[in-house]
Chain A
Amino acid sequence: MSRVFVTGIGIISAVGSTLMENRSALAAGRSGISFAATLSSRYAGVLPCGSIGTSTDEWREQFRIDHPGITRTTLLALHAFSDAIADAGLSDVSLRDPRVALVGATTVGGMCLTDELYRDTTRSCDNSPYLSSYDCASVHLFLQSRYGMTGLGTTINTACSSSANAIQYGARLIRNGLATTVIAGGADSLAKFTINGFHALQILSPKPCRPFDRDRSGLNLGEGAAFLVLEGEEVLAGKEAAGGRAGGKETAGGRAAGRAGGKPIYAELTGYCNTNDAFHPSALSLTGDGPFLAMQGALQSAGLKPADIDFINTHGTATENNDEAEGRAMLRVFGELPPFASTKSYTGHTLGAAGAIEAVYSILSIRHQELYASLNFAEPIEDMGIRPVQVFRQHAVRHVMSNSFGFGGNCTSLIFSNVN
């Protein structure tokens, strides 16, 4: 089966609207968690969030979109998607090829229009411009139509592991010969709907979150989007040949390791695994069975040993339950843990976008050979004694594992590897 490479990235989060801005914030240890100015909810000034300051209307103007049914979630997705395809140098014509697939992920989708949906369900909806916006698929269908894409387009919702699964599905489409290029990722915006949902579950922290700390008090919600352009080695070899750089005895992967059609390749997606914890609808088993199996399966699929992993970008939501279950599962897999951190202390928990955003951070870690610090950590969880990276530093990074776990027990681990 073909090897799969990341050839383009687009990202927007509370710590920046470009790849460069995101990396600068991670390197500087600068969190984006604050009080959301753009969220209409009584909790907006009470519970800190990883919110993006740009208003939905400003984005509409920027992208010249006047349809009110295009939601904040979709605009976030458009932002990251357009950056990703530009970064990979995909032309408008190439996007229309039916062998190019779009695999999106979202949990909020159009539900960010909480008040509009309430109006439409309780009064006449006859002239409402929002009716086809509320579902999750509205996000990828907008992108597909805007770019005239004709190939496979789909959306995954496995709660907070959604976009990790989108990346996995995209890579498998390539490996199975069902697509040549896949743009895979996810988007979610802050919404009255989710902030009330997580508040009802009593897992939102009134302070900036403290992943893996003994005194952690829950998660901060966030918003954002990220898309990766995935391409198989055959496609890259073709691009190289077209660019006149096809080497004599080099393998396609070897050529890919350098550049794709003159552009740098970010990383290779070498491992992935999706499992279910099968324990509780909204909590992980304390032995972390689902996370354990996901991490172990990802290592197996990559053909790697635990000791090969140089950094783990954890799910690390900073809820009582997640960090304990994930910590125990990591100890079961690794024995002695490699350096690990939770970048949710920068972005908040971006739900359906988190897997893709954290995939991007994992790739940044490989690309710049550096480890990002987990913020707000002071004391380790009793009986476990594990400590995340607390200071940003240079470090040799060949393989990074990125964990994403969600409600319904949906667990996915991805492994990205250095190609240089």
Chain B
Amino acid sequence: MPTLSDERFEAYLKQFRPLDPEPLPAAEPSIRARRTFVLRTWATAGAAILVLALIMGALTLQIRTPRTRIGETIGNVGNPEHIQDGQPLTMRSANALMAKSPSFKAMVDDMAFRSKAVPLPKGKRSAVAVLGEEKIKL
């Protein structure tokens, strides 16, 4: 190659373009921040729903527990010939059933739990019904 003049050599050198730098990292955190915000929103909503479900469950248990205890007390005091609805299964009642039932299958059928809605006194409402009517904003 012949020796070039300064101008032509400069022009030759300028044909070599410097490589582009990597993108500024400032653009990446903005995308990350947006993703994090969306994830956080979903996580917060999920956690709120979970907490609400736990509160509802706890309230339901609280309402049922005293009634069960009363039923248990009454059932155990009386003649346990068969399990009353809403009464818990005890060893005593199970033994009584086993002794009286004509077959094992019949005994198991009698032991089966049957749910029954307990009628509330007039003018009173269950806490679940009250909570169900409330508009809870998340």
- The judgment on whether A and B are partners is no
Q: B: which residues have CB within 8 A of A? A: none
Q: A: which residues have CB within 8 A of B? A: none
